[in-house]
Amino acid sequence: MNINYKSPGTLEETRFEKIHSIIFDDSKKGSLAIAREISDLIKKKKKQNKNCLLGLATGSSPIYVYHELIRMHKEDGLSFKNVICFNLDEYFPMSSDDVKSYHHFMNIHLFDHIDIQKNNIHIPDGSIKKEKINEYCSKYEQKIVEEGGIDFQLLGIGRTGHIGFNEPGSNYDSLTRLVYLDYLTRNDARKAFNGMENVPTTAITMGIKTIRKSKRIVLMAWGNNKSSVVKNAIEGDIDSNISASYLQNHKNVTFVLDKTASDELTRVKSPWRTGSCKWTEKLKAKAVAWLCNRTNKSILNLTESDYNKNNLSELLLEKSYDELNLDFYKRIHRSITGWPGGKPNSDDKERPERSMPKKKRVLIFSPHPDDDVISMGGTFDRLVSQGNQVHVAYQTSGNIAVSNSDVLKYLEVINSTFPDSRYKNEEFIELLKNNNDIINNPRIREIASVIREKESLASTRFIGLPDNQVHFLKLPFYETGTIKKNIPTVSDRRIISEIISEIKPHQIFAAGDLADPHGTHKVCLDILFDSLNNLKEKLFMKDCWVWLYRGAWHEWPIHEIDMAVPMSPFQVLRKRKAIFFHQTQKDNVMFQGDDNREFWVRTEDRNRAIAKKFRDLGMSDYTAIETFKRYHF
């Protein structure tokens, strides 16, 4: 799809939107379209014997765009000789050879792999003296003007709504300058800096006016965690609290979104408000769930006038309001089961799982060693106690999330109790005591992996699983010793395919986390989907159902839930205990995100909240519920 394409027929569909936006199935497809537009522009300018001025961004969003531009250079002969780049921003203070600098980012992700002339690269200098910053920033502005102005500006969007580092409150007329970073922005960067305390508080950024002067602007947003800020920028008023909304009256701007980033747009969230709909069963369910939420009513209390007053009259042409209510009520009711592996000897027509075979082979994939119990601990417990043969496969070692102090503790225990240990640990103990960051060291990483393995075994033994049904896959893409992971390869897919072929499961449970497109959970899911695709013709796969759970952060929307497994107060406590065995992930875990609650608290809150939602819809009053969506491959 061409991202410049505007179909007049779609104007009504997008009537709440004040910025032209295009939704792609996934971030990869969106990135390819952006790379194509950039390469077309470079070639067009070359034909005209002109330079092409690109404004570039860093962060996770543009990585695949750059990846594709490099491919075009290497395979299709795209040349960057006529390209002049200006980057949006750089942390301050920051040396350009620091691995955390945007200079380093641009080199490894783009510049080192293309034929751009080095003197055509401009990135704000984070090592400038503070008193020289104003002068430096004016020169940066001037240079852009002298070179003829930016032809194409690529942008990401921060969760504060920032473009560049123009945080809430930025002025419409702002130019390149030193800014203070918002708490949320710094928090989002804490992984890369190994802790919030190391994230700089200031940065140099192009201003709103600098960005708006570009002839063409493309902003990309991937992932569910951007969906609400994207909605505010596109559908809200121009507001200094959301800098991206300043793009609303630019003449040539497009937002390129993946499906999950577009979730909150009116045309996606409640398409009946933007025009006529093709009413699939799924959309009907979505509409009734939305109506309950909007009117604050349970399903069977919705009236004809509720439908009419809320743009849902079209739905009533097909069925009466009470039939619609009843259909949705039954759908939700049918999703609830205390038998996640299927109830033996029962009529399964109205149940989410098959009753046969009575005892199923179940394979639970867990991206990190603990997602199994955090995300589906109650269901896991039921599957085991109801006699199914359950296997758990931990996809990654999770070793970088073990703190130095935990590794030090275990090494000191070994050294004190086994002084003749065949390993010489003193050297590492000294390094760790001096608080050196040595997770890159293979031996330390190995110890960290073993710690997580043993914690997992304590947890699975508590649930009642024999050790030989617990598998540590250590997928190679993860084993870099740093936050930045490798791109998965055929070896990762082979490992997943092998374990599926060995166990021949009737049920697979996997983390269906789509919130962070570059995060470990999403990579693990993509590898699984590829493997399922490769295996699907095998006879044993005909009998295999795949259920997706969500991680500690997000919940399936009500209308997408295919199986809901209630927990009693006792089961909630058992799940909590199973999570507690992952001791290195308790208290101040290394990669907490911006939610300071511990994992067990988050998941308990979430399980209780979904139970309340079921109750509000008119279902029974459960203490907590875990939810799953079926994936058809």
Q: Which two tokens stand for residue 305?
A: 């006038």
**What residues have CB less than 8 Å from 160, skipping those under 6 apart?**
167, 168, 182, 184, 185, 229, 243
**What residues have CB less than 8 Å from 86, skipping those under 6 apart?**
53, 54, 55, 56, 122, 123, 140, 143, 144, 150, 206
Cβ proximity to ligand F6R, 157 vs 364, nearer residue: 157
Q: Minimal distance in Å, beta carbon 166 to ligand F6R?
A: 8
Q: Minimal distance in Å, beta carbon 227 to ligand F6R?
A: 13
Binding pattern for the stretch 100-119 against ligand F6R, x by CB under 6 A and - elsewhere: --------------------
**What residues have CB less than 8 Å from 365, skipping those under 6 apart?**
393, 395, 496, 508, 509, 510, 511, 524, 528
Cβ proximity to ligand F6R, 60 vs 469, nearer residue: 60
Q: Which two tokens stand for residue 530?
A: 């590829």
Per-residue burial over 566-593, b if 16 or more Cβ lie within 10 Å, else e, is bbeeebbebbeebbbbbebbeeebbebb
Q: Minimal distance in Å, beta carbon 59 to ligand F6R?
A: 3
Q: Minimal distance in Å, beta carbon 157 to ligand F6R?
A: 6
Q: Which two tokens stand for residue 148?
A: 């003829």
Q: How many residues bind ligand F6R (CB under 6 A)?
A: 14
Sites for ligand F6R among residues 393-452 (CB under 6 A):
none
Cβ proximity to ligand F6R, 56 vs 624, nearer residue: 56
Cβ proximity to ligand F6R, 157 vs 287, nearer residue: 157
The C-alpha angle with vertex 104 and arms to 442 and 485, in degrees rounded to 5, equals 40
* 266 is an interface residue for ligand F6R by CB under 6 A: no
Binding pattern for the stretch 157-176 against ligand F6R, x by CB under 6 A and - elsewhere: xx---xxxx-----------
- Of 109-117, 152-160, 250-258, 365-373: span binding ligand F6R (CB under 6 A): 152-160
Cβ proximity to ligand F6R, 89 vs 353, nearer residue: 89
Q: Which two tokens stand for residue 194?
A: 């190994």
As a whole number of angstroms, the distance between CA 153 and CA 550 comes to: 35
Q: Report CA Rg, the chain.
A: 27
Q: Minimal distance in Å, beta carbon 74 to ligand F6R?
A: 24
* 61 is an interface residue for ligand F6R by CB under 6 A: yes
Name the phi and psi angles at 456, rounded to 5: -65, -40
Q: Minimal distance in Å, beta carbon 226 to ligand F6R?
A: 7
Q: Which two tokens stand for residue 515?
A: 């919130």
Cβ proximity to ligand F6R, 101 vs 603, nearer residue: 101
Whether the CB-CB separation of 237 and 245 falls below 8 Å is answered with: yes
Q: What's the first-to-final CA gap in the chain, in angstroms?
A: 25
Cβ proximity to ligand F6R, 57 vs 565, nearer residue: 57
- Of 57-65, 231-239, 261-269, 481-489: span binding ligand F6R (CB under 6 A): 57-65
Cβ proximity to ligand F6R, 82 vs 170, nearer residue: 170
**H or E element, residue 232:** helix 227-235
Cβ proximity to ligand F6R, 226 vs 267, nearer residue: 226
Helix (H, G, I), strand (E, B) or coil at 8: helix
Q: Is the peptide bond before 357 cis (omega within 30 degrees of 0)?
A: yes
- Of 12-20, 26-34, 54-62, 446-454: span binding ligand F6R (CB under 6 A): 54-62
- Of 53-61, 142-150, 273-281, 546-554: span binding ligand F6R (CB under 6 A): 53-61
- Of 32-40, 52-60, 122-130, 227-235: span binding ligand F6R (CB under 6 A): 52-60
Q: Minimal distance in Å, beta carbon 472 to ligand F6R?
A: 30
Per CB under 6 A, the list member of 22, 54, 88, 324 interacting with ligand F6R is 88
Sites for ligand F6R among residues 462-481 (CB under 6 A):
none
Whether the CB-CB separation of 565 and 382 falls below 8 Å is answered with: yes
As a whole number of angstroms, the distance between CA 476 and CA 488 comes to: 8
Binding pattern for the stretch 491-530 against ligand F6R, x by CB under 6 A and - elsewhere: ----------------------------------------
Cβ proximity to ligand F6R, 64 vs 80, nearer residue: 64
Q: Is the peptide bond before 557 cis (omega within 30 degrees of 0)?
A: no
Strands (E), 9-82: 21-24, 52-56
Closest residue to bound ligand F6R by CB: 156
Q: Minimal distance in Å, beta carbon 217 to ligand F6R?
A: 13
Per CB under 6 A, the list member of 4, 60, 79, 171 interacting with ligand F6R is 60
- Of 91-99, 153-161, 268-276, 614-622: span binding ligand F6R (CB under 6 A): 153-161
Half-sphere exposure of 368 (CA within 13 A, CB side): 25
Say which residue the tokens 């394409």 belong to.
5
As a whole number of angstroms, the distance between CA 608 and CA 302 comes to: 24
Task: State the chain's maximal CA–CA distance in angstroms.
Answer: 81
Q: Which two tokens stand for residue 343?
A: 């109830």
As a whole number of angstroms, the distance between CA 566 and CA 591 comes to: 29
- Of 59-67, 286-294, 414-422, 623-631: span binding ligand F6R (CB under 6 A): 59-67
- Of 156-164, 355-363, 582-590, 597-605: span binding ligand F6R (CB under 6 A): 156-164
* 55 is an interface residue for ligand F6R by CB under 6 A: no
As a whole number of angstroms, the distance between CA 119 and CA 90 comes to: 18
Per CB under 6 A, the list member of 156, 271, 352, 367 interacting with ligand F6R is 156
Q: Which two tokens stand for residue 21?
A: 């936006």
Per CB under 6 A, the list member of 31, 39, 41, 59 interacting with ligand F6R is 59
As a whole number of angstroms, the distance between CA 110 and CA 72 comes to: 12
> Which are the catalytic amino acids?
167
Q: Minimal distance in Å, beta carbon 575 to ligand F6R?
A: 32
Per CB under 6 A, the list member of 39, 58, 170, 531 interacting with ligand F6R is 58
Name the phi and psi angles at 304, rounded to 5: -60, -40
As a whole number of angstroms, the distance between CA 422 and CA 517 comes to: 43
Cβ proximity to ligand F6R, 218 vs 288, nearer residue: 218
* 202 is an interface residue for ligand F6R by CB under 6 A: no
Cβ proximity to ligand F6R, 360 vs 521, nearer residue: 521
Per-residue burial over 402-414, b if 16 or more Cβ lie within 10 Å, else e, is bbbebbbebbeee
Q: Which residues bind ligand F6R (CB under 6 A)?
A: 57-61, 88-89, 156-158, 162-165
